[in-house]
Chains A and B, each alone.
Chain A
Amino acid sequence: MTQLVQVLILGLLIGGVYALLASGLTLIFGVMNVINVAQGALFIFAAFLSWTLWKEAGIDPLLSALVTTPIMFAVGWLMYVGTIQWISGKPASMSVLLTFALALVIEGVSGMVWSTTSHSATPGYFASSYRIGDFYFPKAQVYGCGIAVIVLLALYALLRGTWLGRAIRAVSENVSSARLVGVNAHNVAALTFAVGVATTGAGGAIASVLYPFVPGSHYVWISRLLGIIVLGGMGSLPGAVIGALAMGVSETMTATYVSPRWATLVPYVVIMVVLLARPQGIMGAKLREDVVV
Chain B
Amino acid sequence: MERAGELALRHGFAAAVAIGALGLLAYPLISDNLYYQNMIILSTLLAIMASGWNIISGFTGYVSLGHSVFLGIGAYTTALLSIRVFEGASPFWFVPVSAVVAGVFAAVVGAILMRTRGHAFVILTIAFLFVMQIVTLNWSDLTNGNHGVTLPLPRWDAAYQDWPFYYSLLGLLALSVALSWWIRRTKFGMGLIAIREDESKAAGVGINTRVYKVLAYIASAVFVGAAGGVYAYYLTFIDPRGMFRIIVSVQIVLAALLGGRGTIMGPVIGAFIFEPLNEVTNNVELLAGPRRLVFYGAFLAAIVLLLPRGIIPSLAEIRTRRREQRTAATVGQRLERPLVRVAERAPAAADPSGRPLLEVRGVGKRFGGLAALDDCTLAVPEGSITALIGPNGSGKTTLFNVVDGTMPHDHGEVWFDGRRIDGLSPWARAHAGIGRTFQITRLFREMTVLENVVTPLRSFSWRQLGADAVSGPEAERAEELLEFVGMRRFAPMRAGALSYGQQKLVELAQVLMLDPKLIMLDEPAGGINPTLIEHMAEMIRELNRRGTTFVIVEHNVPLVLGLCNPVHVLARGSCLCSGPPDTVQHDPAVLDAYLGEDYLAGVG
Contact = CB atoms under 8 A, between A and B. Distances in A.
Interface of A: 35, 83, 86-87, 90-94, 96-98, 100-112, 116, 215, 219, 223, 226, 230, 234, 261-262, 264-265, 268-269, 271-272, 275-276, 279, 285-288, 290, 292
Contacts, number: 139
B465 interface: no
A97 B304 contact: yes
A86 B295 CA distance: 20
Interface residues of B, number: 51
Contacts of A265: 131, 134-135, 138
Interface stretch (B13-21, B122-130, B215-223, B350-358): B122-130
Contacts of B407: 290
Interface string B85-129: 000000000000000000000000000100110111111101110
A94 B308 contact: yes
By secondary structure, the B interface counts as helix
B115 A276 contact: yes
Contacts of B119: 35, 92-93, 96, 234
B602 interface: no
Interface string B174-209: 000000000000000000000000000000000000
7 contacts: A100-B250, A105-B301, A112-B294, A215-B290, A234-B119, A261-B138, A265-B135
A94 B138 CA distance: 33
Nearest to A104: B297
Contacts of B368: 285-287
A103 B298 CA distance: 10
A102 B367 CA distance: 37
Contact of A105 (B137, B257, B298): B298
B583 to A, nearest CB: 32
A104 B245 CA distance: 13
A215 B308 CA distance: 28
Interface in B286-300: 289-300
Nearest to B298: A105
A272 B128 CA distance: 9
B293 A275 contact: no
A33 to B, nearest CB: 8
A92 B134 CA distance: 27
B65 A109 contact: no
B448 interface: no
A252 to B, nearest CB: 18
A90 B112 CA distance: 26
Contacts of B305: 83, 86-87, 98
Contacts of A98: 300-301, 304-305
Contact of A83 (B123, B246, B301, B397): B301
Given A105-B297, A106-B297, A269-B131, 17 more contacts: A94-B308, A96-B122, A96-B123, A97-B63, A98-B300, A100-B65, A102-B301, A103-B297, A104-B297, A108-B290, A108-B295, A111-B290, A261-B138, A268-B127, A268-B134, A272-B112, A275-B123
Contacts of B150: none
B406 interface: yes
B353 to A, nearest CB: 33
B116 A279 contact: yes
B304 A87 contact: yes
A101 B300 contact: yes
A97 B300 contact: yes
A223 B301 contact: no
Nearest to B247: A104
Q: Which of A93, A219, A223 has the most CB of B within 10 A?
A: A93
Contact of A292 (B124, B297, B440): B440
Given A102-B297, A105-B297, A90 B308 contact: yes
A228 B577 CA distance: 49
Contacts of A271: 123-124, 127
Q: Which 4 pairs across A and B sit closest by C-beta, in order of nearness?
A: A111-B290, A104-B297, A108-B293, A105-B297
Interface in B56-108: 57, 61-63, 65
Contacts of B134: 262, 264-265, 268
A106 B61 CA distance: 28
B253 interface: yes
A35 B257 CA distance: 20
B401 interface: yes
Contacts of A230: 120, 123
Nearest to A105: B297
A219 B246 contact: yes
Contact of B120 (A87, A97, A279, A285): A279
Contacts of B131: 265, 268-269, 272
A290 B290 CA distance: 44
Nearest to B400: A290
Contacts of A93: 57, 61-63, 118-119, 121-122
Contact of A108 (B61, B291, B301): B291
